[in-house]
Structure 1
Amino acid sequence: MSAAIALPKHQLFESPNSRSIEVFDWFITASTNPISNAADCDALQASLGFPLPEMTFGSNVLTLEHRASGWKYTFSTDAALRAVKNGELEEGDGGVKVGYADKWLESRTGPSSTLPMPKTVPTKPYDWTYTSTYPGHENRDVESWSEADPANPSHAIPMAELTRPDPILFYAEIPLFEDELHDNGSSNLLVRIRVMPTCIFILARFTLRVDGVLFRMRDTRLYHSFASQPPLVIRETSGWEAPYDRVKRQLPKRDDLTPLTDPGFIAKALTGLPSEVSQNEGANTRWRGLGSKTEIATLS
């Protein structure tokens, strides 16, 4: 802990399923609840129009409110799932076939088969991997974000500050959904928030593993320095993807596949690859979520 960092005046609030902090002009609430019950799942599924992930935390939400400006920003399960493609996958959606799809197709369309070759492999009419590029959302019809100036250091997230051992005033993990993809891998979206004496930092991470096919990750990072004048929020969105075997080659022990189920290992493996591989070429799905973008919102 850094003794040189003065703690700002703040107040914490707790209830059985939520925690909040009031600090400077901010009021932040993290609501964490059990997996949605059957009635709530039925209602949400009817609204979305496609089957829900196995573990859907429909009441989980993270809300930030800057009271001086009235600006609000939210991460919610409902909105995250609405960013999942509902319907036939198109160019840029990053559609994924499971590892045995080609063998399945060959067994039905090979030389010994009497079945005609279909134009496409039959797929579900939604993105069964629950890939979502959801970056959170504002309470305004017109978004506040504009492109960051790469030459302006105040428009970049200061990683050195985030790695300092400063006191943590508030911390929460908010899972939004998770699914094992019918035993073909894993898909999950988790939001984490830290409030420190000098700043707010949020990481929302979508992680996808499709066994034998690919790994995919989408990060949204939000950062605000309490010292910024006028108040400034930085949002960095980044997407990575790589073939399954490319990540598998980075295992510490070739015969131990356990790290492939660890989002931390997956993140380190994907971000450690050359960007032309993980953020441009990817796994040849042409997913539009690849690459990085930094934006700013000035609160006034």
Structure 2
Amino acid sequence: MLDGNPEYADSLFGKAYPPFACMRQMDLRREYSATIMTRAFAFYSYLTATKLPAQILSELRKIAEEALRRSIDQYTANASAFAGKCGFAVSPRKWNPTVLSFGELSGKARKILGDGFDGFLEETLADVLEGSDERVRAAALVEAMVDLCAIPGPMAVVGFLPPWYPHRANLGSNRGEKIMDKIASEAAIEAKERFGETLEIRPFFEGVSDLSYCGFQGDSREMDVFAENMPGWGRPYRLPKEVLAELDIPILNLGALGMDAHKNTERIHLPYAMDVYPELLRFVVRRIAEEYR
């Protein structure tokens, strides 16, 4: 329903970007068992261009609700069919599926524990194997809260996991962005006329970039939505939300030329990197200085 589904692909200026991609799926048993698993954990990578945490969380909730409904329908149909093969009648069990955001689950746990909530978090995280992946630590927190709250299944918990790179695009909405857009166009002309290279201009970098932290494009309360729905926020993962809300730095990413990013065959095109790119970078820096002089 979610993995690779183009229905949930974000878009900007008529261009669609990759939808959710599952990065990991696993059950939550800590040792081998011949029993059927009762809990599972999955997380996805998602490239956003316009969508903010509140909208994403709402979509995830609807997807989880539909997934639970389909699972129950399939289970009921299988149970009835199996009973028919065995020659006995079966009364369909009534299920009451629940979908919670992590913020809602955390609120229930805090209500139960009161002042002991922070200690519960620290103790739970301390029990996770040292050096474990941040995503595994987050799953342990969710599982501990589900146990504490004793919420009957079937249920699903939706939320966010680190790291978070908020999208930051050049929308041409202020003087700084218009200047960067102008300089990008000039750099493309310089590359073509001087080096015979064709540069493509895009509104934002379609990957992981520190430019995400040059300011937050959206209502600052959206960062609170993310923080409230990320297991372990502040232990140790955090972002300086207040600072991001205050920043609004115009961005321009002059990219390299290469192949096979993030693979063991990753490489750059040396003639471009050594001869063309430095000259274009000098051109861009000089033009920025001239515009802001």
TM-score, shorter chain, exceeding 0.5:
no
Q: Which has the higher strand share?
A: 1
Report the TM range for the smaller structure's normalisation: under 0.3
Bigger Rg, which one: 2
TM-score, normalised via structure 1 length: 0.27
TM-score, normalised via structure 2 length: 0.28
